[in-house]
A and B are shown apart, each in its own frame.
Chain A
């Protein structure tokens, strides 16, 4: 799988023609707007309160108040809470980020067409036309910044959104990241010189391995990389190195072919009756994304930018362009379509459709030869996998996409906490089993975990309820157990209690004491005491 970023400017008619055939031509002028720490804004956090969004136990975004307390992206959650105990922590949600970004995109789209969403919190477009209309790159940058912050309900002078203008998408993205409020414009032709002092790690996560290697080889900056002879870079680092070399020289990562995708690649589905629910439309989108991907696959192509288009029963037509660094897989395509539909249909966007959707169309804006994927020896996805996927898709059509789930092991102490259920087809979360979870019970695990714990009564020999003291001692040996008011069953074997205290430092903390008991006919239960009574958490069925 080759994962190389694509230039923004290449996507827009005129720029593409200008840049076409140009192996080392200067790429078109591009504006990139970047909203730092977008996930905390999308989560609706007030900037003056310390809050952070975490993904896989690492901080990914922090509010300015959180930064002032020393919380930084990349920190472990526990370390971040250590630095700032009152830090509010929210789990990451890519769908929420994309949904909240839609109003900003809609606002910027009033300035120019062909705005491309590069990801939640980032957008870009070629400045060739709009720059002339608004009186130069600097004026355009200031205008975009003002429009973006106004769309989020902030005063026009607020510096929350950063705008950069430069030659090509890479330089513009870099400029946006270092820009001050008001925007940063790199004059035409100076992008290479401006990029030179930047470290090679600025190439971004896609080139993470390569940039690590370059640093160890004594090539610390983009300028040093650009100074190397291109044939040597290609010989030593292959195509990936070549792409990085081109970026370092202020060019697009590969020569733009300027090839229009053949028109028959676009896929559309008509919806009759018109669809107003996000879930149903998203389900249609998933099928459509698979269809488009299969069609591209058959042509040996991969797409990096796609236009998502809907028509409504009132004749409205909405289009939004999405771009991704590296080729869009079918799942990524479906995910972006769902985010976009969610953004439109949930009505948060400026231009929400007034009626149900009658047509959904996906059009690849830019294609390139799919060079990367190596199929399995016997022909890729096995037949049985494809059949199972079809069956699951049918059930999702019946009950909605959330109804069919797959399970992933994650860390946790309770039986249910060790499992995360993910709707079939969604991206799986990072797995984190195998870490020590003090208080987790030893194998074997119970084969029946009650979705809601069952109430239970545990009594000792004298018929008194068994209690657990604050120090984790029981008041008497348990002699009988009744589940949900049922008959009392004699306890033959038991062990515990094993106390667990979780999150005692905050309001949602839990204190439990767990025990294993074997009753009557050899049935074993995992019971716990919490808030003054006994519960059956699971049964060793």
Chain B
């Protein structure tokens, strides 16, 4: 009986109407859902992600939630993208197309990809003309795709949403021993689409168990702690 009751919320989630708000949104990893008032990123918007100290992982975690929902992701002009890290964060490589070196044709390439892809991660090369940025934003809005501008502080248009990362330190590495296991960081969402104020969320990215995980409010580390020594006598 207890188990039946426990499964009711799940049944509710499965039976919820497909049309409506959900089809307007692109899913995000569950720990990040509270960053967005609607629980996801609205389709047809432009998101800027800074890559300082964790932005690439954040972009990949967002891409993972798109591919796991059956969507397609493209990365344009991003030859340094760590693809092993992408699989570890849950990206389905069969649904990830790469155009590593589009040269100065990146705007044309991105415009072509907007038609068929649910998420386009773009690292523009060189100076970005404002006309290109406006045209891309308009096309993304029209095709209801999602454009993620990665590591482009010189992007001339104001993006709908700006995601930045505040580093919180690596776990697992000491002075001459250990190896990297997990990183704690704070994701900050700002811009027009987050209800006027900054929203923050502290997460493990990557977590020791892989992927993106919430930092428990108690502050307990997601890194499995060693045996705790207590004074007993």
Contact = CB atoms under 8 A, between A and B. Distances in A.
A500 interface: no
Interface residues of A, number: 49
> What 8 A-B pairs have minimum CB-CB distances, sorted nearest first?
A391-B116, A522-B167, A541-B56, A447-B56, A493-B173, A445-B84, A388-B72, A387-B116
Contacts of A495: 173-174, 176-179
Contacts of B210: 443-444
Interface of B: 51-57, 60, 70-72, 74, 79-88, 93-103, 105, 108-109, 112-118, 167-170, 173-183, 206, 210
15 contacts: A391-B74, A394-B112, A398-B108, A399-B102, A404-B98, A405-B98, A444-B180, A445-B84, A448-B51, A449-B84, A493-B173, A493-B178, A495-B179, A522-B183, A541-B53
B116 A444 contact: no
Interface in A386-435: 387-392, 394-395, 398-399, 403-409, 415, 418-419, 421, 424
A395 to B, nearest CB: 5
A530 to B, nearest CB: 19
A391 B55 CA distance: 27
A405 B100 contact: yes
A448 B102 contact: no
A521 interface: yes
A446 interface: yes
A384 B72 contact: yes
Contact of B53 (A392, A405, A445, A522): A522
B174 A446 contact: no
Interface string A370-388: 0000000000001011011
A44 interface: no
Contacts of B113: 391-392, 395
A388 B97 contact: yes
Contact of A406 (B80, B97, B109): B97
A477 B175 contact: yes
B99 A404 contact: yes
Contacts of A394: 112, 115
A283 interface: no
A175 interface: no
A524 B170 contact: yes
Contacts of A445: 82, 84-85, 88
B28 to A, nearest CB: 18
Nearest to A517: B173
Contacts of A194: none
Contacts of B105: 398-399
A139 interface: no
Contact of A449 (B81, B115, B167, B170): B81
B180 A524 contact: yes
B169 A522 contact: yes
